[in-house]
Structure 1
Amino acid sequence: MGKFLAGKVVVVTGAGRGIGRAVALACAAEGASVVVNDYGVAVDGRAPSGEVAAAVVKEITASGGDAVAVVDDVSTMAGGEHIVSTAVNTYGRIDGAVCVAGILRERMLFNMAEEEWDPVIATHLKGTFTVFRAAAAAMRKQGSGSLVGFTSGNHQGSVSQANYSAAKGGIISLVRSAALGLHRYGVTANCVAPVARTRMSAGVPTELTEIGEPEDVAPLVVYLLSGRAHDITGQVYTVAGPKIAVWAQPRELRSAYACDGPWTPERIADFLPRSVGVDPMPMLAQLEEMRRAAAANGRPNA
């Protein structure tokens, strides 16, 4: 057993499989008591089963660690509250909350139904909120704690996952808001954007040139939960195999002011393209390159 998280109590959602499981096992290996949460659903959020959470608890306890399973649905306020209260009632405190739980329901935007939008937003974005909200209340009283949300590179946008991308972008803003609001209470909030081979990444339509395993993501999460990261907050990190990267904070690139009267559509049309301009979308350029390559190979463009 390691000592990086000795004496700490950590909640991990979506901990029955993939990255969540790797994080839960790593936290336990570094000395933390772990609340293993997983509703046990399929990738699309259906067919819940509590067995996967219990299986991870068995792995942890078999290795000499301490863990309990909770099968609540993070998309409900009661579920988020129960996950956190289980940590406090069982171990007396909560030092870290890691929200990995997520589902996919892929569809092009013009075909996406409400039944495909709502559950994805509820699991990813609301599911992070429900746990963060309950954990933040406990951590504020303690005067310490760490929140870790999980986003994705797809927060930049996605061809067929508008629901997922919107949720992941929302998680980044939620984490930054938590970092600002909880800083004075000694609580940090950060985000991880993993690139790893999991059930959810198996159907990604584009080739991922940089990708790792779930176990590659866990060490960064352990670090962010530890006392060594007490001064790091409001950040978004990517982990892709051996690569760790930090994302830029949102900021203005260029600006302009109307000097002789108010802006009109005509003035903007003449002025904006040459003075303020645009910030190119890297993913749009990648899609165009893929279309050109498909055309060159005689394949029809989508």
Structure 2
Amino acid sequence: MGFKIAVAGATGNVGREMLDILEERGFPADEIVPLASRRSIGTEVSYGDKTLKVRALEDYDFSDTDLCLMSAGGEVSKKMSPAIGKAGCIVIDNSSAWRYDSDVPLIVPEVNPDAIEGFRKKNIIANPNCSTAQLVVALKPLHDAATIKRIVVSTYQSVSGAGKDGMDELFNQSRAVFVSDPIETKKFTKRIAFNVIPHIDVFMEDGYTKEEWKILAETKKMLDPKIRVTATAVRVPVFVGHAEAVNIEFEKPITADEARDILREAPGCLVVDKHEDGGYVTPHECAGDDATYISRIREDATVENGLALWVVSDNLRKGAALNTIQIAELLVAKGLIQPKKQAA
């Protein structure tokens, strides 16, 4: 007997990716229910070779549903997830709504799988920010080996992190450049075509943006609260795939060769690090893949026990949809969830 799964936000980039990954990975689902706002009722989405029609999230009864994969935005999740959880359906939420709630576990299965057992307080599990997810996958095995003291990260984040509107804006602006049409800016604060913007999310009082704060807070919650983190988040004219330049200071000595060997054996990591032209991975190559790619591993001579590296991943997959499905798989593997139909 398989599970009944609702995918909320099924018409969005991440929701559609969730449907694809559920089918790709053979998740034990007997029934998939795509949900979205009322204006999307009847919209068709694909699940393997099936075509499913979207139903209204607001009107759906979750009492016989085992899992809700929530990718409908933070405000919707704040409003609906507690009630869904009380109905006995476990919510795995992709927004920032619950990440910093002490009663909600924030999970990357390769990093802190044991923390998932805390979900019972609210029946909600949080998925981290896309830029944090790939970062902690790379950091966890290195932290276990040499204890990280401080991280400086600069992100190069694709427009898909801003949703379909962000992707459309890059496409329309790029086309306008080539045909000499006026450039329209709607989604981003400045032109994104053939440009980079050092601003993601809102500014905070200390001058950092909320995206940068998320990296700090989520890394501390999942990895170690003692780690010091500073970040600069930059939007770049790439459709899919986030990249990060990461500088790490450790308590214990660790060489580039040791780090390379550790990361080659680490779950979710794929090292591509040849000191030659093209011997590294870019966002273009990582799109559609599940791995967190790590390249340019080298020692930093400016600090004691320092390393620098380059981390790339598909933000729609590991940064969102894939991690959500992996959390669901972890619930099953640990025996923390049983199909309601079977229980009945």
Provide TM-score, normalisation by structure 1. 0.42
Larger radius of gyration: 1
Structure (1/2) with the larger strand percentage:
2
Larger relative contact order (Cα-Cα within 8 Å, sequence gap ≥ 6): 2
Q: TM-score, normalised by structure 2?
A: 0.37
